[in-house]
Amino acid sequence: MRDIVVLTIILGSVPICFFRPFFGAMMWVWVAYFNPHRFTYGMAYNFPVSTVIAIPTLLGILFFRKVNRGIFVRETVMLLLFWAWITITYIHATQVPLFADHVEDARFELINVSKVLLMTFVLVLMVTSKKRLDTLFLVTAFSFGALAIKGAVFGILTGGNFRVWGPPNSFVYDNNDFGLALNMSIPMMFYMTREVESPRLRKLLWLSFYCSIFAVILSYSRGALMGLMVVLGAISLKSKQKILAGALLVVFAILLLTFAPAAWMDRMGNFAHGELDESAEGRLHAWQFAWTFASEYPIMGGGFETFTPQLEARFTPQFGFAGPHSIYFQTLGEQGFVGLGIFLLVLGGCFYTLRRLRRRVRGQPPFAWIINYSNMIEISLLGYVVSGAFLPRAYFDLWFQLAAATALLKILYEHARSSETTEEVSSPGMSETLAVPAG
């Protein structure tokens, strides 16, 4: 029954995606984050839902004239540069005999990342108004919010003694990845309560917000827990009632330590005392491998999927295989110092743009929503750079969306300013002022 429902929704949306590409882009976001097909047990489980949604959407854009103009701003240009660089490093890897063992996996990963980046640019083209930007973040927030509510219910029913996981065979299945995704979406749930008018949607966002916090804790991910503390702290610092928000955080921490299940306390105990377990030591070994390997291949690294047992045994034989375990060291090993530099420039550029936009719109009531959005995106990115320091998610879908959203804020603001200028110049009073008397 689930298979029929999911396939009916996906296949039934195909013509709508063609005639209304923005709807198709939102369907792709929903499918990418919520993974509805992973909750089935039959033919829908491995059905190529993303492709079925993406193809009519891309075709529809060819006939859809209302798209953003002037999309080549700093963030989109840097994303294009990053896309070009990861393609170059893959081509380079195919020419190095030492990398032969992981070239096929690298090709598969390049295709996947390219699909994500392509649809990311579709979002930049199709989100042409604040209303559409609202829709984009509401779809994102509710996709992860539904998963968080499901995880919170599971945690309550099991007394918090088991880890919460994402949808099977999805990019957020792993408990660490799921915690990272929720940390990045928690600010969306919080700040979007200020943008929606419907009381029901606002209540649902608050429910998703609190369940997401609970689900991050029950993910048993120490990196996600650090990210959660940073995200909630940043939300509190940006709150108008900082003292009250800070007090609530302290109460929350006390309740957590008082009522947390024994399994969770055991997991976090060594971490809190600065002691390293096998998992933590594996991360340090992986970072050592990335640095050693990049020292040998500093320009282009080894391409995608460089962290293989064969290469780790060759460059750091004293350590066991651990995988990248960090967005920074993953990028360093796979894309070299140049790729890491581009990656950090995209991140840094986003933070710079968001703060600059806030300064530009202060004192302009019509653009107050940009301040709300810039705070939201900034804290989501903060969750990514903190939790991501311990996770191999350098090519995370949601991270690319946040970079695109930063570009969209800039584009929509410039469009709005241009429209205001045009209206002022074309208004009767202004026309008389600017008119030059004849003779």
pTM of the predicted protein model = 0.88
Query: How many whole angstroms separate alpha carbon 348 and alpha carbon 333?
Result: 20
Side-chain half-sphere exposure of 397, counting CA atoms within 13 A: 24
Residues 6+ apart with CB under 8 A from 288: 316, 319
Measured torsion, CA atoms of residues 268, 142, 343, 303, in degrees rounded to the nearest 10: 80
Mean pLDDT of 213-229: 87
What is the C-alpha to C-alpha distance for residues 183 and 399, in angstroms, rounded to an integer? 12
Query: Between the CA of residue 436 and those of 420, 424, 431, 433, what are the distances in Å?
Result: 23, 17, 10, 8
Chain centroid, CA 172 distance in Å: 11
Stretch among 88-92, 190-194, 236-240 having the lowest mean pLDDT = 236-240
The 10s digit of each residue's pLDDT in 292-310 is 999 999 999 999 999 988 8
Distance CA 355, CA 394 (A): 23
Give the model confidence (pLDDT) of 384-402 as tens digits. 999 999 888 999 999 999 9
pLDDT at 435: 38
pLDDT top residue among 365 and 153: 153
Give the model confidence (pLDDT) of 46-82 as tens digits: 899 999 999 999 999 988 778 888 889 999 999 999 9
Weakest-pLDDT range from 86-95, 251-260, 300-309, 323-332: 251-260
By the 8 A CB rule, do 231 and 186 touch?
A: yes
133's tokens: 């930007």
Token digits of residue 190: 């919080």
pLDDT at residue 8 greater than cutoff 80 = yes
pLDDT-derived band at 249, boundaries 50, 70, 90: low
Residue with tokens 């302009």: 364
CA 22 vs. chain centroid, Å, equals 19
pLDDT-derived band at 281 (thresholds 50, 70, 90) equals confident
Q: How confident is the model at residue 269 (pLDDT cuts 50, 70, 90)?
A: low
pLDDT of residue 390: 86
Residue 255 has what pLDDT? 55
Distance separating alpha carbons of residues 333 and 339, to the nearest angstrom: 9
- The per-residue pLDDT for 242 is 64
Name the residue among 117, 110, 116, 118 with its Cα closest to residue 94: 110
Residue 331 has pLDDT above 60, yes or no: yes
- Residues in the chain, overall count: 439
Give percent of the chain with pLDDT exceeding 70: 85
Residues 6+ apart with CB under 8 A from 77: none
Average the pLDDT over 220-234 and give the result: 87
Average pLDDT, the chain: 86
pLDDT at 21: 94
Mean pLDDT of 228-256: 74
